[in-house]
Amino acid sequence: MAILLFTIPTMPHRFFRYGIALSLVVLMTWIAEYLGESEIIFPEILALAVGGWVAEKRPWKTTRFNLWLAPTAAALFGVILMRYTRLPAWTMVTVSFAFVALLLTATRSTLMPSISAAILPILIGTTSWIYPISVCLLTAAIALNSPLPERFFRQVAPALPRNPPESAALGRELLFWGKLLIAVTLVTFLALKYNVLFLVAPPLIVTFVEFSHEGSPLRKYPVKVFLLLGLAAWAGMLCHSILSLHLGWPLWISSAFITTFLFICYESMEMLFPPAAAISLLPTILPTAQLPHYPWQVMAGTVLLLLTSLLFFGPVRKKGEIRLTKI
């Protein structure tokens, strides 16, 4: 299980890591705007940068190779579905979710941002090969920990054991994913049927999966999860709308403001939460007409998916409580 509430690095290292993550976002958006290819922008890359570079300990069980492989394969699968099938959008979301679930189970990984990589092209209608190529290159940069010396970052987590899981544990894992699949299918069908697309924004689906794990520390802090996601959605929408669309500033400047505000939220709330990073950057690739609805739907979707998680997986348990570590 990935733990998304974790110790924030001590000064001065965390601000250096924030700076590296910010630089990646600025470079990505500058290239996308310069080339006129919005498919280059992969919002989840900021979430991966937060987990892979900013956090003292990586919040996902994964190898460095799978940190590149899983999101890349997921993005490629989502684009293939869009290009070569005529399935309804909600069915493609279900198939993509199932594909990533099997991929993560087979690789013994908990790299949940891969879910977002697969679903994003379906919800925004991307059919360009540029998207999976961009995901491939950007995740490679995260996996390699940038060209800077390794000593500037935390030590890389060791590879996961290669011994196959016990059949009982595998059965529980598949049952868990099966229940998630049913819930995601139902909520996605309703969201698309009534044209409230961002009730199931891909980072919210990642949040839903993380929140549903038994013993997840997220289940102890639903208010903080809601506030972070809501603030990220509003910041992303307002910065992009005012700075880029109204004032005509370059996209990389508004993205820099969005990312900086997100990091301030992390510091003030003493919590690193990667899905909020992806939520904050998602407005930069949305049609202008959808922007006013985005934060409201994200907040409503957060409440809906957290309540769905409690319905499908039971209330928060008292035993084994995991406390949030202060800075």
Q: What are the structural domain ranges in the chain? A: 13-151+166-313
Residues 265-324 pLDDT 10s: 999 998 889 999 999 999 999 999 999 999 999 999 999 999 999 888 877 655 444 334
Q: CB of 186 within 8 A of CB of 93? A: no
Q: Which of 5-9, 147-151, 245-249, 317-321 has the lowest mean pLDDT?
A: 147-151
Among 277, 286, 278, 289, residue whose Cα is nearest residue 116 = 278
Helix or strand run (H / E) with residue 104: helix 89-106
Main-chain phi, psi angles of 317, to 5 degrees: -90, 150
Q: What is the mean pLDDT of residues 189-204?
A: 95
Q: What is the mean pLDDT of residues 87-99?
A: 96
Number of separate helices (H) and strands (E) present in the chain: 12, 0
**Measured distance CA(239)–CA(237) in Å, rounded:** 6
Residues 14-62 pLDDT 10s: 788 999 999 999 999 999 999 999 999 999 999 999 998 988 777 888 8
Other C-beta atoms lying within 10 Å of the C-beta of residue 103: 20
The pTM of the full predicted model, rounded to 2 decimals, is 0.87
